Amino acid sequence: DAGVIQSPRHEVTEMGQEVTLRCKPISGHNSLFWYRQTMMRGLELLIYFNNNVPIDDSGMPEDRFSAKMPNASFSTLKIQPSEPRDSAVYFCASSFRTNTDTQYFGPGTRLTVL
Amino acid sequence: LAKTTQPISMDSYEGQEVNITCSHNNIATNDYITWYQQFPSQGPRFIIQGYKTKVTNEVASLFIPADRKSSTLSLPRVSLSDTAVYYCLVGDGVKFNKFYFGSGTKLNVKP
């Protein structure tokens, strides 16, 4: 398996633009996680899906952020409109079942909002 | 909610054993303790997981006392390539779907 795949790897955009980050989890994994990492706040869990259903999105910072998982092999994290404070590395991870299972992280998307 | 506390950083020398302790006073009965390693510009990578007592694999050992309010990750004979950030993760037993990475410990291995 190729592991968790994220795209793009780097994204530079201007404030106010819409940004869409994409993730393909490992085949057969039922749980998918979106994280954000910054120097100031460390690694934060944004949202967690189980069997394509959002289970907990309390980590999503505000309404500008939304995440979807239309099927077992694809998820998106959208920011609209983007702001400079959204600049961070966004990681997607997947696991076989629950949060106690090993999570496999993707390479991350480095987002810069100018 | 079961949050964790770790030292911000540690220094070591090649060949030494390194022990990183994580405090999780509010750990719940069903929570597991998991440690991850993160290199710069990469996502975290699973190292080891345990529930109680001691767990050992090919890269590390995990020691968990009876009260489970802390855990210690032990890295035997570290090398320069072990320089990374190490995270302690505890599953949240109240909202079992949600959990927190700790602040992470930056381990710097010197030659």
In degrees, rounded to 5, the angle at the alpha carbon of residue A61 between the alpha carbons of residues A57 and A67 is 50
Residues of B in contact with A98 (CB under 8 A): 96-97
Contact A107 B43 (CB under 8 A): yes
Pairing mode of beta strands A88-95, A104-105: antiparallel
pLDDT at site A99: 59
pLDDT of residue B98: 57
- Asked if the model's pLDDT at residue A70 lies above 50, the reply is yes
For residue B26, what pLDDT is reported?
85
Determine which of A58, A98, A99 to mutate to test the interface with B (most B C-beta atoms within 10 Å).
A99
- Nearest by CB to A91, from B43, B91, B99: name it: B43
Average pLDDT over residues A76-95: 96
pLDDT at A20: 98
pLDDT surpassing 80 at residue A63: yes
10-residue averages of pLDDT along chain B (111 residues): 83 97 88 91 92 94 96 96 93 56 88 95
- State the pLDDT at residue B93: 45
- Chain B positions in Cβ-Cβ contact with residue A100 (cut-off 8 Å): 32, 34, 49, 91
| Residue that wins the pLDDT comparison between A98 and B94 | A98
Percent of chain A with pLDDT over 90: 75
Residues 6+ apart with CB under 8 A from A65: A46, A77, A78, A79
B43/A102 touch (CB, cutoff 8 Å), yes or no: no
The pLDDT, as a whole number, for residue B91 is 74
Kindly tell me the sign of the dihedral angle through the C-alpha atoms of A91, A95, A101, A104: negative
- Residue B89 is predicted with a pLDDT of 86
Whether the pLDDT of residue A25 is over 60: the answer is: yes
Q: 3-state class of B82 per DSSP?
A: helix
Sheet holding A65-71, edge to edge: A5-7, A19-24, A74-79, A65-71
Q: What is the largest CA-CA distance in chain A?
A: 38
The model's pLDDT over A31-49, given as tens digits with 9 standing for 90+, comes to: 999 999 998 888 888 998 9
Structure tokens at A108: 């991350």
All residues of chain A having their beta carbon less than 8 Å from the beta carbon of residue B32 are 100
CA of B92: which chain A residue's CA is closest? A99
Averaged confidence pLDDT in chain A: 93
H/E element, A25 = none
